[in-house]
Amino acid sequence: MTTVREQTAPALQTLPGPRGLRARLARRRGQGDEPEQRRVLSSSDWRRPAVKWVWRAMHFLLLLLLLVCCVGPIFLLVKFAFTPTQDIQATPLKFFPNGWTLDNITMAWTRYRIGKYFLNTVWVALGSWFCQVLVATTGGYVLSVLRPRWAKALNWAVLTTLFVPAVVLLIPLYKIIVNPPIGDSLINNYFAVWLPAGASAFDVVLVARFFDSLPREVFEAARVDGAGPFRVFWSIVLPMSRPIIGVVSVFAVIASWKDFLWPFLVLQSDTVKPLSVYLQSMANVDKGTLMAALAISTSIPIVMFLLFQRMFLSGAGTGGAVKG
Amino acid sequence: MSTVAETVRPSPGPSPDREVPPGTRTPPGPARRTRSPRTWLQGGGLSSLLFALPLLLVFGIFSWWPIISAVVMSFQKTNLIDPAQWVGLDNFRAVISDPLMPRVVANTAWFALLALVLGYPVPLIGAVLMSELRRRRGLYSVLAYLPVVVPPVVAVLLWKFFYDPGPAGVFNTILGWVGIGPVGWLNSQTMAMPSLVLEATWAAAGGTVIIYLAALVAVPPELYDAAEVDGASVWGKIWHVTLPQLRGVLFITLILQIIGTAQVFLEPFLFTNGGPNHATETIMLRVYNLAFTTLGSNFGQATALSLLLAVFLAVLSIIYFRLTRSWSQS
């Protein structure tokens, strides 16, 4: 990490090119200890004691606030999961006044069978993930690499849907699920969630833009060697686009984990109901059990987030806003 | 679709007999354009179509068709059981003359306004502070983003417990420490909406912080150097360099937040189901009630209302982008 420290040396600050490159490399190497890219405060600012202490204090305050406001509620949730119901209700902020218990967890798991609904959510997420990746990669391949004459019209048609707010789709989509063009009603069928999830213009645009950035020469070379469009897609484009597929996957899984209204409308039977819909119906059970159920269903997304932080945080920067 | 491709597809390349993959950037062959199905096939038209098939089917059935059908349904009386009847503008008339409508619109506007006041400056201040960190910026962003990954239903049910109106409720206990006495939170007509907004802000602010952090990295450092040469103080640099440079992102997040909050559903539905006394019933909840609760089951009116909201948001965004175009570019 010595190079990282060197970076802040004023002499290097004047060289824009290599500094940027090194900063980027170092950022990739080190996790949290990011080398200082020049921001508002310069090194000379940092040397002034007044500025230094004011900003240090503000940073410390911010850390406290983040711990209390962002982590606090989640910490309380975990604590509630192991606290007897009476204590949760009478003294929610006391730290295990009468000891802790595993009853809530076992109750949620065995009597309310959280595990089963957990599995349903996994199915919902997996299918939505597959649908989104399939549509986004094949669609992106057509729009960016194959580029038939009608690609422009198609691109335009996909882009327009980005500007249609979700409200408009709700009821007509429900009508289509109840009376699909082929076959019987899809209510209580996972396909009712999987297929509409695939119609994500955001994913298609993201993947197509990534494909645009792949070097064309590789495709040309493969074609010269006699690879057809399917071969190029499977053996060249897909392996090269692992990063973007990762981003799309994380978003897809998280989105289906969070989704409530749509599964609530179309997956109502107990055999297919995902966790989010089930939790809503649990709202009035014993508080301890409810808190345990909530804690269990939060654990997976949080573990996923901590494992794939980089993907989440960079993905949110690129376009999380559009996805909402 | 295929006919369009057949007619406009140019001759694929220099050797028409060999299968030439589509999209090859070789200059189109000499002015020979035989637009027969055979050349289209050889030019890879079929494989393009096959690759586009998942997108065409999924978007066609679950995106493009519903959009069209939303417009159609708003002119019909339909409830999924009886055959649909054309009723002209009746749905729109019914929606506008609905006695609850002013209340619902005002509630939604109130939610959006509170969410702006609460949720707009906080992530910005946080992000500006965080971007000045020399160490452990990763830790700060992880902490800030943590609430975003909590499933919304979990967050709402958890906060619903926090908002327990009794003196032993979590928030009332905390307020009790400083001698403020139990607040009704979700049971009080005036406090219910701010309570919803507080939770919504908690759940969303982290995402905005990350967007601002990404935008802050893109501010050219030379500008700060230049400001320093001109003798700008730290606050001067933030005010005259950072904020103006963030303009574009700030404008976008503002309109996206308005579009998002105008469609708020989950919080009012799960926290209060529109109560107490319709104090938190928003437009989306009204759409839901019109369409899916037993007394309504009126898909036509619900679609009409959702279309009105969508058109309003579209007009708002157009006006907004017109107004801010001159400021956000320079």
Distance between A228 CA and the closest CA of chain B, angstroms:
6
Distance between B82 CA and the closest CA of chain A, angstroms:
13
Chain segment A265-300, per-residue pLDDT in tens: 999 888 899 998 999 888 888 888 899 999 998 988
* Cα distance between residue A26 and residue A11, in whole Å: 18
Q: Quote the ipTM score.
A: 0.80
pLDDT at residue A60, as a whole number: 92
Chain B environment of A145 (Cβ under 8 Å): 23
Query: Contact A62/B130, CB-based, under 8 Å?
Result: yes
Per-residue pLDDT at B94 exceeds 80: yes
Query: Contact B241/A157, CB-based, under 8 Å?
Result: no
Chain A environment of B140 (Cβ under 8 Å): 62-63, 66
pTM as predicted = 0.81
* Cα distance between residue B108 and residue A159, in whole Å: 28
Per-residue pLDDT at B1 exceeds 50: no
Mean pLDDT of chain A: 81
pLDDT at residue A33, as a whole number: 44
Query: Contact B154/A294, CB-based, under 8 Å?
Result: yes
Quickly state the pLDDT bin for A41 (edges 50, 70, 90): confident
Chain B environment of A33 (Cβ under 8 Å): 135-136, 138
Query: Contact A93/B313, CB-based, under 8 Å?
Result: no
- Give the residue-averaged pLDDT of B164-178: 86
Distance between B152 CA and the closest CA of chain A, angstroms:
6
Per-residue pLDDT at B2 exceeds 90: no
CA dist list (Å): A116 to A25, A123, B140: 44, 11, 35
pLDDT at residue B54, as a whole number: 93
Element (H or E) spanning A205, and its range?
helix A201-212
| Neighbour count for residue A313 (Cβ, 10 Å) | 21
For A51, which of B170, B219, B234 is closest by C-beta distance? B234
Mean pLDDT of chain B: 82
Segment among A89-98, A132-141, B12-21, B114-123 with least mean pLDDT: B12-21
For B284, which of A37, A167, A257 is closest by C-beta distance? A167
Query: Contact B51/A138, CB-based, under 8 Å?
Result: yes
Task: Give the residue on B whose Cα is nearest the Cα of A147.
Answer: B23
Chain B environment of A139 (Cβ under 8 Å): 51-52, 54-55
pLDDT at residue A123, as a whole number: 92
B293-323 CB burial, b ≥16 within 10 A, e <16: eeebebbbbbbbbbbbbbeebeeebeebeee
Chain A environment of B202 (Cβ under 8 Å): 69-70, 73
Chain B environment of A124 (Cβ under 8 Å): none
Chain segment A137-196, per-residue pLDDT in tens: 999 999 998 888 899 999 999 998 988 888 888 889 998 898 888 888 888 999 999 999
Per-residue pLDDT at A319 exceeds 70: no
Tokens 């897909």 correspond to what residue? A238
Chain A environment of B134 (Cβ under 8 Å): 8, 36, 46
Query: Contact B54/A138, CB-based, under 8 Å?
Result: yes
Query: Contact B309/A167, CB-based, under 8 Å?
Result: yes
pLDDT at residue A317, as a whole number: 52
Per-residue pLDDT at A225 exceeds 60: yes
For A139, which of B52, B153, B299 is closest by C-beta distance? B52
Give the single-character DSSP code of A83.
S
Quickly state the pLDDT bin for B133 (edges 50, 70, 90): confident
Closest of B298, B290, B285 to residue B105, by C-alpha: B285
Distance between B125 CA and the closest CA of chain A, angstroms:
10
The per-residue DSSP string of A165-194 comes to -HHHHHHHHHHHHHS-SSSS--TTSTHHHH
Task: Give the residue on B whose Cα is nearest the Cα of A59.
Answer: B129
Q: Phi, psi (5° rounding) for residue B35?
A: -100, 50
Task: Give the residue on A whose Cα is nearest the Cα of B250.
Answer: A321
Chain segment B265-312, per-residue pLDDT in tens: 999 999 988 878 888 999 999 999 888 886 556 888 899 999 999 999
Quickly state the pLDDT bin for B3 (edges 50, 70, 90): very low
- Give the residue-averaged pLDDT of B32-49: 70
Query: Contact A305/B149, CB-based, under 8 Å?
Result: yes
- Give the residue-averaged pLDDT of B87-115: 90
- Give the residue-averaged pLDDT of A30-59: 74
Per-residue pLDDT at A263 exceeds 90: yes
Query: Contact A317/B253, CB-based, under 8 Å?
Result: no
Task: Give the residue on A whose Cα is nearest the Cα of B63.
Answer: A199
The per-residue DSSP string of B150-191 comes to S-HHHHHHHHHHHT--STTSHHHHHHHHTTPPPP-GGGSTTT
Per-residue pLDDT at A2 exceeds 50: no
- Give the residue-averaged pLDDT of A238-253: 86
Interface test with B, best of A36, A39, A173, A296 (most B CBs within 10 A): A39
pLDDT at residue B35, as a whole number: 61
- Give the residue-averaged pLDDT of A246-266: 87
Query: Contact A168/B70, CB-based, under 8 Å?
Result: yes
